[in-house]
């Protein structure tokens, strides 16, 4: 093995050791349990193939962006499922959509577009800062700031709107 190959292998091993769990969690929140390990393997296959192109300061956002792309590619492929394996909830995309139990928050969350939900998840659940968010989304830092600000505003408005609708529906809106 050459020195360059050993260096690439060491870099990949360090990348995997540092980020595999975070990538696994990222993917697990966005797909069915049975597919998580395969998708994570695909993400790290791409990482191995492009190890020299991964920025040292933005490894995790780069991996999240790659995972997003791998997930998108899988969703575009049509796979026929036997009827007994169909999910009960037709909104089977992101596990976060199912986990949110509070009616108001759930309805507000589901009223957001996919991009707004992704921006909020990357910041709140994956702990990315502005620069990392920008790298994960493939946009500028200022663009990421705008996207986050707008997503937060839309979510706040959706929570307010959903809360007032729920209150009215429950018979407390007249008070």
In terms of pTM, does the model score above 0.85? no
Is pLDDT at 158 greater than 70 in this prediction? yes
Nearest to 91, CA basis, from 80, 82, 83, 100: 100
Residue extents of the structural domains in the chain: 1-86, 93-175
Burial of 14 (0-12, 13-18, 19+ CB in 10 A): exposed
Q: Residues 84-113: what's their mean pLDDT?
A: 65
Is the pLDDT at 1 greater than 90? The verdict is no
- For 1-86, which CATH class? mainly alpha
pLDDT tens column, 27-44? 998 887 788 999 999 999
Per-residue pLDDT of 56-67, as tens digits, reads 888 999 999 999
Tokens 């695909």 label which residue?
42
Q: Which of 82, 19, 79, 25 is nearest to 47 (CA)?
A: 19
pLDDT of residue 163: 63
3: tokens are 């020195």
CA distance 97 to 44: 26
Q: Please, which pLDDT band fits residue 168 given cuts at 50, 70 and 90? A: very low
Please determine, looking at this structure, whether the domain spanning 93-175 carries the CATH number 1.10.10.10.
yes
């Amino acid at each position: 093995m050459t020195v360059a190959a050993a260096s690439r292998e060491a870099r990949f091993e360090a990348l995997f050791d540092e980020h595999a769990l975070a990538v696994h969690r990222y993917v697990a929140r966005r797909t069915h349990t049975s597919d998580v390990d395969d998708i994570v393997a695909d993400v790290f296959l791409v990482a191995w193939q492009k190890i020299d192109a991964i920025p040292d300061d933005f490894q995790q956002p780069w991996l999240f962006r790659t995972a997003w792309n791998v997930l998108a590619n899988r969703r575009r492929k049509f796979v026929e499922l036997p009827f007994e394996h169909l999910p009960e909830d037709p909104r089977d995309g992101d596990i976060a959509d199912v986990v949110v139990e509070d009616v108001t928050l759930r309805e507000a969350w589901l009223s957001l577009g996919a991009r707004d939900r992704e921006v909020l998840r990357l910041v709140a659940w994956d702990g990315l800062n502005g620069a990392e968010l920008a790298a994960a989304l493939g946009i500028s830092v200022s663009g990421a700031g705008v996207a986050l600000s707008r997503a937060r505003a839309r979510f706040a408005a959706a929570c307010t709107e959903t809360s007032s609708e729920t209150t009215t529906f429950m018979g407390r809106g007249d008070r």
